[in-house]
């Protein structure tokens, strides 16, 4: 499917709304970890989203997806419901929200590569140059900010694993969103896994709740990642990727790392330096370049 210029413009804007909502996910997970076990934050957020989707799908009397769409639905759920939430929560126990956000900033490039492989999409060379430059800029920023000597290799491996899970589920979810509405994709992936997550949440809670103290921030953080990050954010994200094209739309996500850094400074007290601002401007420039090239190449 060839996206028109209007499709790309509208799709990128819709995807940006999703990214704006996702930008708070890592800080909110950090808040949730004050009151809950890492595994519970993963199953709990999916349970919250699953309950919401149950009521919405029931009220609308929606039928389950066609048989040929169930495979991509399964892989989307695997990454969105289990892979990313579990691995990123474990990583946040070992490192800061800011460090997670900048390492995970390679996700747009990984998503673009997987989309090209999965869907055989073709984009201009300049697009790849902009994507690679933006990613390299974020990696360099991450290394200089965190300090190579202070890096936690286990935390970084957890983040990298989460990135691959999430990138693949984005590609599969975008494919689904070309067949059914994005909100249906986000609804079904959490509903089909709801029984597993309810049971898992009860078991994890029974074994871990005595080790944590409930706080207002912890509860708010859990509900944010359950209602927004796990559910409504995907409404916009999948619809935007489907409309603009996964390769093009995914590059907007480079902005997420920088937005997360600023939210981390405000909510978690992490410092935003001149280097952070410089990195933000550089990445914004690369994203703008990629989008201009994509827009001009559209048929």
Asked if residue 150 has pLDDT above 80, the reply is no
Greatest distance between any 2 Cα atoms in the chain: 59
Asked if residue 198 has pLDDT above 90, the reply is yes
CA–CA separation, 225 and 52 (whole Å):
13
What does the pLDDT read at residue 178?
79
pTM over 0.75: yes
pLDDT band of 148, cuts 50, 70, 90: very low
- Domain spans of the chain, in order of start: 5-297
Q: Cβ neighbours of residue 299 under 8 Å, at least 6 residues apart? A: 2, 4
pLDDT band of 214, cuts 50, 70, 90: very high
pLDDT average, residue stretch 64-69: 88
What does the pLDDT read at residue 244?
73
Q: Cβ neighbours of residue 263 under 8 Å, at least 6 residues apart? A: 23, 24, 27
What does the pLDDT read at residue 191?
94
Q: Nearest to residue 27, comparing CAs of 110, 76, 130, 100? A: 100
Give the range with max mean pLDDT: 3-7, 89-93, 140-144: 89-93
Asked if residue 200 has pLDDT above 90, the reply is yes
Percent of the chain with pLDDT over 90: 22
pLDDT average, residue stretch 68-82: 87
CA–CA separation, 265 and 272 (whole Å):
6
What does the pLDDT read at residue 53?
95
What does the pLDDT read at residue 149?
45
**Residue range 155-176, pLDDT digits in tens:** 888 888 998 888 888 888 878 8
Tokens for 215?
């706080």
Please state the φ and ψ torsions of residue 62, each to the nearest 5 degrees: -80, 140
Please state the φ and ψ torsions of residue 294, each to the nearest 5 degrees: -60, -40
Q: Using a CB cutoff of 8 Å and minimum separation of 24, what contacts does 217-220 make? A: 217/31, 217/34, 217/35, 218/31, 218/32, 218/33, 218/34, 218/35, 218/36, 219/35, 220/28, 220/31
Asked if residue 76 has pLDDT above 80, the reply is yes
């Amino acid at each position: 499917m060839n996206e028109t210029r209007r499709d790309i413009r509208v799709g990128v804007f819709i995807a940006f709304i999703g990214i704006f909502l996702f930008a708070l996910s890592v800080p909110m997970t950090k808040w949730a970890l004050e009151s809950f076990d890492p595994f519970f934050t993963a199953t709990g957020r999916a349970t919250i989203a699953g309950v919401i989707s149950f009521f919405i799908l029931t009220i609308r009397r929606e039928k389950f997806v066609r048989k040929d769409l169930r495979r991509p639905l399964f892989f989307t759920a695997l990454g969105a419901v289990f892979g990313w939430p579990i691995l990123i929560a474990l990583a946040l126990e070992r490192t800061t929200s800011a460090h997670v956000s900048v390492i995970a900033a390679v996700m747009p490039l990984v998503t673009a590569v997987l989309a090209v492989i999965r869907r055989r999409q073709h984009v201009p060379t300049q697009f790849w140059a902009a994507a690679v430059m933006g990613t390299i800029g974020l990696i360099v920023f991450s290394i200089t900010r965190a300090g190579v000597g202070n890096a936690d290799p286990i935390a970084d491996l957890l983040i990298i694993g989460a990135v691959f899970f999430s990138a693949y589920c984005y590609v599969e979810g975008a494919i689904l969103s070309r067949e059914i509405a994005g909100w249906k994709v986000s609804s079904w992936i959490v509903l089909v896994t709801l029984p597993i997550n309810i049971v898992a949440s009860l078991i994890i809670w029974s074994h871990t709740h005595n080790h944590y103290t409930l706080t207002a921030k912890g509860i708010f953080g859990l509900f944010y990642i359950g209602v927004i990050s796990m559910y409504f954010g995907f409404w916009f994200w999948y619809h935007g990727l489907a409309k603009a094209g996964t390769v093009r739309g995914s590059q907007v996500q480079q902005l997420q790392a920088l937005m997360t850094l600023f939210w981390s400074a405000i909510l978690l007290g992490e410092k935003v330096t001149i280097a952070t601002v410089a990195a933000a401007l550089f990445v914004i420039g690369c994203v703008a370049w990629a989008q201009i090239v994509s827009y001009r190449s559209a048929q």
